[in-house]
Amino acid sequence: MTMPPMLVAEADPARRFVSGFSRGLSWFGMLIFVALAFVGPGWTALAIATFAMTILGERRIRRMRWELDAPSPEGRFRFGRDASRSVRVADLGGVVVMLHAGAQSRGIPITRPHEHWWLVGHDGALLGDASSQGLDPMAPERFGAALGVPFVTFAEARRAGALPHGLPWYALRPGLAVVVAIVVSIAVMAVVLLLPTYWA
């Protein structure tokens, strides 16, 4: 007989935002892209891509779910889309936590901060990663207390030389990841601006 999980947390895209007002500001920004879509093919493509990524992102977050079994030798922590990924709690040596700050616009908070957990085995290997984006803000605290394993921040793990093996490059080199994102953004905008307008 399969026992129901001891803890469950389901994501909601609305929880990403600080308030209903901040969510409205986000969609107002999307309306600006709609207006710009009539300027030229570059802006049209950018608007379509932005809308597609926003809708797909909300659908992805809506399916995110965390589950934790009651303590047992085979108890598991499940996470990801529809809680389809999991690690056995007994195999979990600790968690490295990376805190992502929320987005702002003109000093107005838009999205809430959220945690990204890097799940580490007893041998220091990376077992998986789980994001709390869209979950109840108290979910990480509840799950963290129930897991009963050590938690350290990403900065503490880096200083101690204890980062898990197998981290992706953007986690190991966040500064480089920012540079790459800026370069890609500049390249995209350059292409958009260089393309002729519809009335040219």
Instruction: For residue 54, tell me if it sits in a domain.
Output: yes
Give the chain's domain count: 1
For residue 125, give the nearest of 104, 102, 96, 85 by alpha carbon. Answer: 96
CB of 16 within 8 A of CB of 101? no
Which tokens go with 151?
């938690």
Q: Is residue 1 part of a domain?
A: no
For residue 200, tell me if it sits in a domain. Answer: no
pLDDT of residue 200: 66
Domain range for 189: 7-194
pLDDT of residue 1: 57
| Residue 67 belongs to a domain | yes
What's the pLDDT tens digit per position in 12-21? Answer: 988 988 888 8
Residue 2 placed within a domain? no
Residue 31 φ then ψ, to 5°: -65, -35
pTM over cut 0.85: yes
What residue ranges of the chain have pLDDT lower than 50? none
C-beta separation of 97 from 152 below 8 A: yes
Sign of CA dihedral 16, 22, 24, 30: negative
**What does the pLDDT read at residue 164?**
93
Give pLDDT, residue 110: 86
Question: Sign of the CA dihedral 153, 157, 162, 164?
Answer: positive
Inside any domain, residue 162: yes
71 part of a folded domain: yes
